[in-house]
């Protein structure tokens, strides 16, 4: 695996492709700029798109992605692995095709959020 080139190692051969790829991804998941809606590459979007198993909104909520503020909850890595398996495994589909997300509602919320700095009051400037 170490000998296989990563996508960023070929960026100089395809100038601007990372920007166009990000615009495509953001457009597909509904987080793109509205003025770019008709500008991103849409070929094979249905084939390689989001699928029909769950809504993108449910996915975002599940993994702590806030599209309205374009932010994410931190520390998801602490949940991935055994804690996630314990939570999700009881909801495996009988046909073996992944998790039945219609059976339960889960939202990742950072258990250790960063403390915000106290806002300076207007009186401090006087």
- Per residue in 102-115, pLDDT (tens digit) is 888 899 999 999 87
The whole-number pLDDT of residue 79 equals 93
Q: Which is nearest to 31 in space by CA: 77, 85, 64, 71?
A: 71
What is the average pLDDT across 30-47? 81
Q: Give the predicted TM-score (pTM) of the model.
A: 0.66
> Does the pLDDT value for residue 9 go beyond 80?
no
Query: How big is the CA angle at 92 (ends 89 and 98), to the nearest 5 degrees?
Result: 110
Q: Are 55 and 38 in contact (CB under 8 A)?
A: no
Q: Is 93 helix (H, G, I), strand (E, B) or coil?
A: coil
Split at pLDDT 50, 70, 90, the class of 121 is very low
Query: pLDDT averaged over the chain?
Result: 82
Q: Are strands 65-66 and 71-72 parallel, antiparallel or unpaired?
A: antiparallel
What is the average pLDDT across 43-66? 86
> Does the pLDDT value for residue 34 go beyond 70?
yes
């Amino acid at each position: 695996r170490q000998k296989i080139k990563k996508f960023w190692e070929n960026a100089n051969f395809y100038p601007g492709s990372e920007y166009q790829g990000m615009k495509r991804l953001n457009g597909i998941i509904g987080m793109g700029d509205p003025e770019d809606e008709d500008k991103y590459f849409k070929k094979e979007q249905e084939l390689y798109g989001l699928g029909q198993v769950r809504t993108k909104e449910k996915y975002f909520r599940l993994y702590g992605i806030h599209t309205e503020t374009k932010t994410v909850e931190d520390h998801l890595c602490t949940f991935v692995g055994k804690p996630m398996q314990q939570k999700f495994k009881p909801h495996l589909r009988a046909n073996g095709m992944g998790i039945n997300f219609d059976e339960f509602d889960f939202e990742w919320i950072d258990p250790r959020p960063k403390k915000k700095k106290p806002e300076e009051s207007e009186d401090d400037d006087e």
